[in-house]
Amino acid sequence: MRALILASALMAATPLSAQAQVCKAWSSPVLVASIPSKPINEASGLEASRTYPGRLYHNNDSGDGLRFYITNMAGGGLQTVNLKGPKPADIEELSLGPCGSRTCLYLGDVGDNAGARSEVSFTLLAEKKTYAETETPLRVVRARYPDGARNVEAFALHPNGELFVVTKPVDAKVTNPGPASVYRLSANQLAQTQGVQVFAKLGELDLPRLLSDLPFYGWIPTGLDISRDGKRAVLLTYMAVVELGFDLAKGVPAKLTAGDNVSVFQAPPLAQQEAITLLPDDSGFLYDSEAARKAETFPLHKVTCTAR
């Protein structure tokens, strides 16, 4: 009994953040593929399939239609999949996650550089072994923020079916970003086809404080992915990757501390890096660059955690 009491006391004295097991050391980036820049000329979203090993999903930034692209891990086997529906305003990100008993690909029409949109939308398509050239979406979910328009390039699905977005906090002159806000849509909201769903605000991530050694450009979130157990996530900025060592579904901590509840990876950044995905086994991540308009290919890099 005394041993049990002592163990319980030790557990109670241990900060929750210490149980996050954030990565202590990252490998150097390794070039694993060169992705064709035609038609993927403004890569803004990236996702690695866990159901179909070796498959990658991509999307272009604003100006493209309602479509996504498939390649293998080496950048080959390119396929374009069009979806029926109106042309989106600005698809910035895609994510894989639950949609009832299935896994769906979520395309997020969430970009809003002018901060003027009254609502955003997510187009859902069930993941499957083969796709036709044109597919019919499962549904489209419309949503709005409770406190005005927000510009977003980073969102991801949690294994519990919830969707999380991290805002891109820049002012009109893009010179003084503040903390990034985190919002959530519930699984029930994502099952709706009527009306406009309202995000719930969960908190803020003070990236300017955490990444104070970087210029403001390095504080701006551009991509997000959540681990298969939901306990961690990776958040891409223009100059860094921040591993969040906590479950977003349980809230956002008041303070981010490197080596405690977050791990920060910095390397020579790719030009306008906007897309990230965890590897299927969550051992590391892939990330790539949007700036491919003047080249035949753009680089896909892999980084793994070497000590946890």
Domain that holds residue 162: 30-307
Beta bridge partners of 105: 96, 125
Asked whether residue 197 is assigned to any structural domain, the reply reads yes
What is the tens place of the pLDDT at every residue in 243-297?
Answer: 999 999 999 999 999 999 999 999 888 888 999 999 999 999 999 987 656 678 8
CATH number, position 208: 2.120.10
Which pTM value belongs to this model?
Answer: 0.92
Q: How many Å apart are CA 303 and CA 257, to the nearest integer?
A: 21
Decide if 3 is inside a domain. no
Confidence of residue 166 (pLDDT cuts 50, 70, 90): very high
Look-up: residue for tokens 């806000």?
Answer: 181
Contact by Cβ (8 Å): 152, 168? yes
Domain tally, the chain: 1
Strand-pair partners of 304: 284
161 located within any domain: yes
* pLDDT value, residue 11: 36
* 107, HSE (Cβ side, Cα atoms, 13 Å): 31
